[in-house]
Amino acid sequence: MSMLPTFLLSLMVISMCSADILRYRVSKLVNVGHEVMMDAVYDTLEQTGLYTLGTDLHSSCPWTTINLHDYRTGMVAFKQVNTGLCYIKPSNESIQQAMVVIRREKMGYKSVIPTENWKVDRQVLSFAAVEVIAGHNIAEFCKDYEVHSLIQEISTQHKHKRSPCELVCFLCLVQLENEAQHA
Q: What contacts 142, CB < 8 A, 6 or more positions away?
A: 77, 79, 86, 88, 130
pLDDT of residue 31: 56
| Cα distance between residue 16 and residue 114, in whole Å | 36
Average pLDDT over residues 31-43: 77
- Look at residues 118, 105, 182, 109 and name the one whose alpha carbon lies nearest to residue 156: 118
Domains of the chain, residue spans: 20-114+124-150
pLDDT in tens, 80-134: 888 899 999 999 889 998 888 888 888 887 776 666 778 889 999 999 999 999 9
Provide, rounded to the nearest whole percent, the portion of the chain with pLDDT above 90. 33
Q: Are residues 20 and 45 in contact, defined by beta-carbon separation less than 8 angstroms?
A: yes
d(C-alpha 122, C-alpha 183), whole Å: 12
Return the pLDDT at 119. 87
What is the C-alpha to C-alpha distance for residues 128 and 32, in angstroms, rounded to an integer?
38
Distance CA 32, CA 112 (A): 9
Q: Is there a contact between 44 and 22 (Cβ–Cβ < 8 Å)? A: yes
